[in-house]
Amino acid sequence: MNMNGNKPIGIFDTGIGGLTTVTELQKLLPGEDIIYFGDSARNPYGNRPASEIVEMTCQMLDFLKGNDVKTVGVACNTISTLIDRYAPKYDFTIVGVVTPVCEMIAKMDLPVVGVIATVATIENGTYQSIITRHSPNTRVLGEGAPILANLIDRGDFSQEPLDAEIRKHMDHMLADGPIGHVILGCTHYPIVQENFERLYPSIEFINPAYEQALALRDMLTAQNGLNDRKDGGKFTVCTSGDPKVYADVCKRLGCKTPTELRVVNL
């Protein structure tokens, strides 16, 4: 299958978290145009029923479809766990953030791995089922954090409240025994990965955004859909929330300054 490589890549999330995927994608494919949508006005999604999450997801996908994207990366773990419910409705390839990192973890054949994520992601059980399907001997410990993503999405990175919330959930997960590797199973969490690493220096924290970016690159390569440019791709950020937070997080993550930054209400 061939696609038009000159079209943009769409990336979306419930808020600023998916900018972690954009950062990795820009390193791998600097010539690609990227249009991003972050639904901060309706965040958090992770505490909502699945049917409502799917409905809101389709609204974001319809927006990206209207912007003529060639493919879409779902840079949200909660939404990615429901991908089978909405992906068949669209004629472009949709790449989630969960499966690529689960397949990478399974190859490591770890005795135990932790996943800290939203409540919906953990209760859904997708991380647990994919990892153990590929690596039956790996024990997967999940910890749902109801408000951590929302704290981060506000763009206030004050150390004390974030550290307190991280400690609460990490300590609860570690009560089951020592863990050497923990997946940051919400794309918001790598924005404050330094907090996790400072508080738990003996644990290796895994950012799924890199594996998702690799999966998008490999899919575009297979479908002859890469942009020929070597650099200079446009980066458009659309959000239903405060655009300043997005500009600030782009600087924090080291991704390109958005070419365009605008408010869009779905």
Residue 47 contacts residue 119 (beta carbons within 8 Å): yes
Residues 194 and 63 reside in one and the same domain: no
Task: Please check the confidence at residue 2 and state whether its pLDDT lies above 70.
Answer: no
Q: Catalytic: 58?
A: no
Task: Please check the confidence at residue 107 and state whether its pLDDT lies above 90.
Answer: yes
Residues 191 and 241 reside in one and the same domain: no
Residues 104 and 199 reside in one and the same domain: yes
CATH of the domain at 123: 3.40.50.1860
Residue 153: the pLDDT is: 86
Torsion angle, alpha carbons of 77, 218, 183, 44, to 10: -20
pLDDT digits (tens, 9 = 90+) for 194-224: 999 999 999 999 999 999 999 999 999 999 9
Q: Catalytic: 76?
A: yes
- Pick the catalytic residue from 76, 102, 238, 255: 76
Q: How far is CA 56 from CA 45, 87, 176, in A?
A: 9, 13, 36
Nearest to 118 by CA among 157, 149, 94: 149
Calpha distance 160→140 (Å, rounded): 29
Does residue 214 sit within a domain? Answer: yes
pLDDT digits (tens, 9 = 90+) for 135-176: 999 999 999 999 998 899 888 888 899 999 999 999 999 998
Q: What is the mean pLDDT of residues 96-104?
A: 95
Residues 21 and 71 reside in one and the same domain: yes
Task: Please check the confidence at residue 3 and state whether its pLDDT lies above 80.
Answer: no
- Pick the catalytic residue from 186, 238, 250, 255: 186
Does residue 117 sit within a domain? Answer: yes
Domain around 137: 98-207
98-108 and 126-134 helices, crossing angle to 10°: 40
- Band of the pLDDT at 4, cuts 50, 70, 90? confident
User: In total, how many domains does the chain have?
Assistant: 2
Residue 29 contacts residue 219 (beta carbons within 8 Å): no
Task: Please check the confidence at residue 1 and state whether its pLDDT lies above 70.
Answer: no
Residues 201 and 103 reside in one and the same domain: yes
* Percent of the chain surpassing pLDDT 90: 83
Calpha distance 17→120 (Å, rounded): 16
User: Which has more pLDDT, 2 or 10?
Assistant: 10
Residue 44: the pLDDT is: 81
pLDDT digits (tens, 9 = 90+) for 227-246: 988 888 999 999 999 999 99
Domain termination site, one of 160, 179, 207: 207
User: Which has more pLDDT, 199 or 126?
Assistant: 199
Residues 26 and 148 reside in one and the same domain: no
Nearest to 141 by CA among 168, 165, 167, 117: 117
pLDDT digits (tens, 9 = 90+) for 76-86: 988 998 999 99
Nearest to 16 by CA among 174, 248, 220: 248
